[in-house]
Amino acid sequence: MNTKHSEEMLEVARLALEGKPTDVRLYLAKLVRKARKEDPAYASKLESLLKTDPARSSGILRRSQFGIEEAHNKDEPSLLRTIKRPDEMEPLLDGPLETQLQQILIERQHKEELEAKGLNPSSSIIFQGPPGVGKTMTANWLSQQLGLPLYVLDLTAVMSSLLGKTGSNLRSVLDFAKSHPCVLFLDEIDAIAKRRNDESDVGELKRLVNILLQEIENWPSEGLLIAATNHPELVDPALWRRFDLDVTFCLPDESNIKKAVVKFLGSDFDELAHLVDFLVESQKGESYSNIRRTINKLRKQKLINPLEFEKNSFEQLIPDLNNLSRQERISFAVKLVSDFSFPKQKAAKLLGVSRDTIRKKLSEAQA
């Protein structure tokens, strides 16, 4: 046994005897990375050992000698956080997006057949799209479908103020995630790229990009790496090309807006069913998170002040309602009745116009 391997064995023994199984796995992952070029066979054997007994960490994760370990002190700054949302709604996906995500799951079901042909399931994905369209929710859903723990990387924690420490922080996180099957979610990966114009940090940022370039291509097929960005134009093109799959999220179409409205209304749906079509119309161009925020506010108003609910809800959904001219009020009242099946009496009361005027306008439109 050569000197280098002797030292490595002593370090593994020390960590094991100190009762630090997470650090043992992290150290072994570090050895795998180092040995890939010098001794591929040795690296492969170590990697196989790591996969025989996957670690499943569900506690709070914090910095340790090798990056991450179970937290005993919840006040310590964490690099990773776990997400567990068993009651979270499934993401609302349009056809092409759902097809892409289902392809990821289907590939995992046929992993052995793919590997027999020298192919691997997609192991790295980049999500792009505006905020609030379900990127994090979808990462959570994928982890549940795959039966793997989900870790979210806190990029602000990785960006250490200590010069040269950022790269080792990121390397530690990646080593931890690669040491056992899991889903690692790199949220707002453009946060690193956004600062590339800062001359004082460009050297450190280049190191981070280089680390990611090295690791993404070799991401183990037992796990899944997901990056997300609201600003795809800021992500280094070389980094972008390393991902197996590029998934684009868009603002919801009318069909998915309606599904979201119905879902978010929850137990209040029956009482607010008459507002659904109007809510769908008013939420066009909004993200799922904004739609949920609006619906939750309406539900609270209904519970707290039911007598003024109709008036308050319309003032919320149409911010400039009080500034409408008389003719605009009449037109809007007619639209509520004709397009959204609103009772004439309610429409007249909300808009401050007479029912006779609404009837007259409706008759003229039908003539």
- CATH number for the domain that contains residue 144: 3.40.50.300
Domain check: are 13 and 154 in the same one?
no
The number of folded domains in the chain is 3
Strand-pair category, 150-153 with 61-62: unpaired
| Same domain flag for 264 and 347 | yes
Q: Kindly state the tokens that stand for 162.
A: 């200590």
Final residue of a domain: which of 187, 216, 248?
248
Q: How far apart are CA 171 and CA 48, in angstroms?
A: 20
Chosen domain end from 229, 248, 267? 248
112 and 243 fall within a common domain: yes
* Domain co-membership, 263 together with 170: no
Q: Are residues 244 and 259 in the same domain?
A: no
**In terms of domains, do 191 and 300 share one?**
no
Distance CA(355)–CA(353), nearest Å, equals 7
Q: Give the model's pLDDT for residue 206.
A: 73
Q: In which residue ranges of the chain is pLDDT below 70? A: 1-5, 15, 17-27, 29-30, 33, 36-37, 47-48, 50-79, 83-89, 154-167, 193-204, 319, 321, 367
Contact 186, 93 (CB under 8 A): no
Domain co-membership, 129 together with 263:
no
Co-location of 96 and 125 in the same domain: yes
Residues 131 and 184 in one domain: yes
- The pLDDT assigned to 203 comes to 63
pTM: 0.69
Check whether residue 100 and residue 173 sit in a common domain: yes
pLDDT of residue 75: 37
Q: Choose the final residue of a domain: 53, 69, 96.
A: 53
pLDDT of residue 23: 64
Task: Say what the pLDDT of residue 67 is.
Answer: 40
Residues 6+ away with beta carbon under 8 Å from 189: 126, 155, 227, 228, 229, 235
pLDDT tens, residue by residue, 185-196: 998 888 776 544
Alpha helices in the chain (DSSP H): 3-17, 21-38, 40-52, 95-109, 111-116, 135-146, 155-158, 165-178, 190-193, 202-217, 237-240, 254-265, 269-272, 276-282, 288-304, 309-317, 326-340, 344-351, 355-366
Q: Let me know whether 77 and 196 are in one domain.
A: yes
Domain shared by 101 and 235, yes or no: yes
Question: CB of 215 within 8 A of CB of 174?
Answer: yes
Closest among 300, 262, 293 to 131, alpha carbons compared: 293
- Print the domain residue range for 84: 54-248
Amino acid letter, 35: A
